[in-house]
Amino acid sequence: MKKFLAILMCVFMLASFAACGSTTTPAADTSAADQPADTAAQPAAETTTETAGGTIYVLGPTPDHGWTAQAGVYAEQKVAEINAEGTYKAVYMAASTGEEQVDQVQTILANNDAVGVVFFALEDSAKAGQEALIAANVPFISFDRIIEGPDQYAILNASGNNWQCGAGIAYWLQMNGMVPGSTLVTLIGDNGTVCSRRQEGFEQFLRGELDYYDKDKNETYHTTQVWTQEEIDTLTAEYKTVCNWSADGAYQYLEQKLSDIVATAKPSGSLYIYSMDDEMTFGLMNLLEANAIDEQTKADFAALNVYTSAIGGMAELYAVIDGTSAQAATAQTYFDGLMSVYFSPKMFENVINYMLDYLSGNWDYKVGDGKYEDVWIVDAGNVANYQGFTGH
């Protein structure tokens, strides 16, 4: 009998262990990968380090020179602050190409510890990286270069107000005499959304559809003459080029075209330069200082009323505007007006703060929303009020 009871107890114990071992464990949720991107890409604001890992990844440029380099410096400083504070781990991942950023996203996903990604896409080829984050349901903020498609699923799209950059330049050139039939040179950074939005804002201002708001003066300006699209198309059709954000790119184009540009502008007596970046404006000044163009073209250029724009805020260009740079003499000889729209690389730091707001639940934005910081004209009248960033 005792032997029978002992056997029976063993059977009960084995059954009990088997029941514990067979407790149902939910399978890993792979539904996000199978769902449409709009469902998979809407992470809840209450995401925590316990549920999604503890690392904020910041993807941006390799600090070398210019606007992007300074943006990277600000980002690295903010990452160090986050690590010192200790709530999250933060990692800055520098790259030189969009393809490299796609590889970085694969590393992030393999680490499986991302609580959020701040993504400064260097090129549109980084799109595949953003799509991978969407498929993995990792929240990300898109900064500066807003890539169409993934922008619908970013928790926020943040940049300077590129439409206002274009509107501000259109206002300034118009204020200095640009009318239908004028000669305009357009120096474009690249074919991404930054420059396409700047061009949209430029044209919208001239058509009377968008006003320029100048934060420095707290004034709003409307076009003094409503242009037709045909007039705008004629203005922008002939002299334009993509410079890849490079002074050398602008230099090479203008070296070939400047004599034709000057000849076209001579009957009106005026020439207008729509440069979408400080670096490209330096390309024009470098050419005027070199021996690459003939003296007659230089003399004819100097005789024109030339109004030259830029966008950025390089300390070197501010020194030209305020007269303290060695190149200020070049600007004074050849330009009748010079300005740069203030577009600070410090915005990258602000955008990382938006991610911290999101993670803390301090969030009123909807997926796909945009956040665009004010920009304004810096010229001889207010340049003393602003500190530029080191460019060259």
| pLDDT tens sequence across 285-333 | 999 999 899 999 999 999 999 999 999 999 999 999 999 999 999 999 9
Tell me the backbone φ, ψ of residue 126, rounded to 5 degrees: -75, -5
Burial class (CB in 10 A: 0-12, 13-18, 19+), 307: buried
**Nearest-angstrom CA–CA distance, 379 and 339:** 5
Closest alpha carbon to 380 in 330, 332, 326, 312: 332
Tokens at 97, concatenated? 């190409």
**Nearest-angstrom CA–CA distance, 237 and 187:** 12
What does the pLDDT read at residue 63? Answer: 72
**Nearest-angstrom CA–CA distance, 150 and 41:** 9
The number of residues making up the chain comes to: 392
Closest alpha carbon to 33 in 121, 134, 128: 134
**Nearest-angstrom CA–CA distance, 64 and 50:** 36
What does the pLDDT read at residue 64? Answer: 67
What domains sit in the chain, N to C, each tagged with a CATH number?
Answer: 52-154 (3.40.50.2300), 162-344+377-385 (3.40.50.2300)
Closest alpha carbon to 146 in 115, 166, 164, 123: 123
What is the percent of the chain where pLDDT is above 90? 83
What does the pLDDT read at residue 33? Answer: 33
Tell me the CB-side half-sphere exposure of residue 118, using CA atoms within 13 A. Answer: 34
**Nearest-angstrom CA–CA distance, 327 and 311:** 18
**Run means of pLDDT, 10 residues per run, the chain, 392 residues:** 37 36 34 36 41 81 81 94 96 96 98 97 97 98 97 98 98 98 97 96 98 97 98 98 96 98 98 97 97 95 98 96 97 98 95 98 97 97 94 67
What does the pLDDT read at residue 283? Answer: 97
**Nearest-angstrom CA–CA distance, 246 and 66:** 10
What does the pLDDT read at residue 323? Answer: 97
What does the pLDDT read at residue 390? Answer: 83
